[in-house]
């Protein structure tokens, strides 16, 4: 049979290497993270030992070359890791997501050789990274940002405020977007590599949130923050390209977070429905429970295929922007829908903190909001369809 007529493996079928990696991350999440999930949620902080173990397992530098201390693996592997971590705790999942899909990938794609040699070994071994684009009046309209960068001989001075910055409490390195030429509009936006101890930089308040509470979401304050010229990421005025390319990849990561947490909630529902008795039999014996479970399983499978397909396209060097938007849009819808129905199956117990499903429900909501709202994804999909 000609190669192009051979039966293709389904997107959900993983290679042996991918399966082994998936199992190792799943075991780590179940054994090392699950016992601490509720405590971290209540304390609104990821355990520092869990962060250390994420570095030790190579989860914070999945695509970074081995010569720079990373695992030199694929983008798909990072998606697998995010999914399995989020199945147990979406807060840890998004920390690893931002590190790999936004920060590391932006430096891999746009960094100078000197920047890569200096920062990537640190990001693979000990430094958490953060990505700072959003501001109080700059969310979906990302390029209306007001943070300014003014050049002074051999440095830039940054002034402004950033909001909703994931990993803000833990990060040692921040990719910060500021406008170096406001008169040029979005063509003046520039990306900067900002270290936590740079003069004029500080981390402000940490937001108190509905979900992913252990994940820090912080304000950043820039007051004449001094940035060496060597810390411009990419070219001056090309920050919008850096942002768009990294966000397209990041949306696949959020898709993985959503299918992971939805699957975690769904697995609890399947188990509970076979244990909970009503009218002398397990509630799983009733169609009123069977049909919702069947629909959830179907929607989860479809969402996973969309996410996996987008990640495979990215690794293959093919255009994936539309598929990334579809994956993010659909998986966040599925996550919200599945986690809500799981609570219905648990009844009153699902509404209490005695069971973990209420946390999955809270965590799911952010999927429709960050890294591009659902409406922004629909705009992207429509534009590409009608191009």
Where in the sequence numbering do the catalytic residues fall?
371
CA distance 149 to 178: 6
Q: Check if the beta carbon of residue 177 is closer than 8 Å to that of residue 132.
A: yes
Which residues, in sequence order, are bridge partners of residue 191?
Answer: 177, 233
Give dist(CA 182, CA 287) in Å, integer. 60
Beta bridge partners of 203: 220
What is the C-alpha to C-alpha distance for residues 14 and 7, in angstroms, rounded to an integer? 15
d(Cα 270, Cα 150) in Å, to the nearest integer?
57
* Contacting residues for 33 by C-beta, under 8 A, at least 6 apart: 50, 85, 88, 89, 92
Please state whether 280 falls in left (phi above 0), alpha (psi between -120 and 50) or beta: left
Q: How many residues are present in the chain?
A: 387
CA angle 155, 156, 162 (to 5 degrees): 145
Look at residues 233, 314, 247, 262 and name the one whose alpha carbon lies nearest to residue 98.
247
Tell how many helices (H) and how many strands (E) occur in the chain: 12, 10
């Amino acid at each position: 049979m000609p190669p192009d007529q051979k039966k293709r493996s389904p997107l959900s079928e993983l290679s042996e290497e991918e399966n082994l990696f998936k199992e190792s991350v799943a075991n780590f999440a179940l054994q090392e993270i699950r016992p601490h999930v509720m405590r971290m949620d209540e304390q609104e902080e990821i355990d520092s030992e869990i962060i250390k173990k994420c570095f030790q397992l190579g989860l914070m530098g999945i695509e970074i070359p081995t010569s720079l201390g990373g695992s030199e693996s694929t983008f798909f592997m990072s998606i697998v890791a995010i999914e399995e971590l989020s199945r147990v705790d979406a807060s840890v999942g998004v920390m690893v997501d931002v590190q790999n899909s936004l920060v590391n990938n932006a430096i891999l794609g746009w960094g100078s050789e000197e920047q890569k040699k200096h920062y990537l070994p640190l990001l693979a071994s000990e430094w958490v990274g953060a990505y700072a684009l959003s501001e109080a009046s700059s969310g979906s309209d990302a390029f209306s940002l007001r943070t300014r960068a003014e050049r002074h001989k051999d440095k830039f001075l940054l002034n402004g405020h950033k909001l909703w910055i994931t990993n803000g409490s833990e990060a040692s390195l921040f990719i910060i977007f500021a406008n170096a030429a406001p008169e040029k509009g979005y063509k003046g936006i520039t990306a900067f590599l900002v270290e936590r101890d740079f003069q004029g930089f500080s981390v402000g308040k940490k937001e108190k949130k509905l979900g992913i509470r252990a994940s820090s979401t912080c304000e950043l304050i820039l007051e004449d923050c001094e940035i060496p010229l060597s810390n411009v990421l990419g070219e001056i005025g090309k920050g919008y390209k850096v942002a768009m390319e990294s966000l397209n990849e990041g949306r696949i990561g959020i898709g993985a977070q959503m299918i992971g947490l939805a699957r975690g909630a769904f697995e609890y529902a399947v188990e509970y429905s076979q244990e909970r008795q009503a009218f002398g039999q397990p509630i799983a014996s009733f169609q009123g429970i069977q049909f919702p479970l069947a629909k959830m399983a179907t929607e989860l499978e479809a969402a996973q295929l969309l996410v996996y397909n987008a990640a495979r396209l990215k690794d293959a060097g093919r255009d994936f922007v539309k598929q990334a938007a579809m994956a993010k849009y659909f998986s966040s819808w599925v996550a919200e829908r599945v986690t809500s129905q799981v609570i219905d199956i648990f009844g009153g117990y699902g509404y209490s903190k005695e069971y973990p499903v209420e946390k999955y429900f809270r965590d799911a909501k952010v999927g429709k909001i960050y890294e591009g709202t659902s409406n922004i994804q629909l705009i992207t999909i429509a534009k590409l369809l009608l191009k």
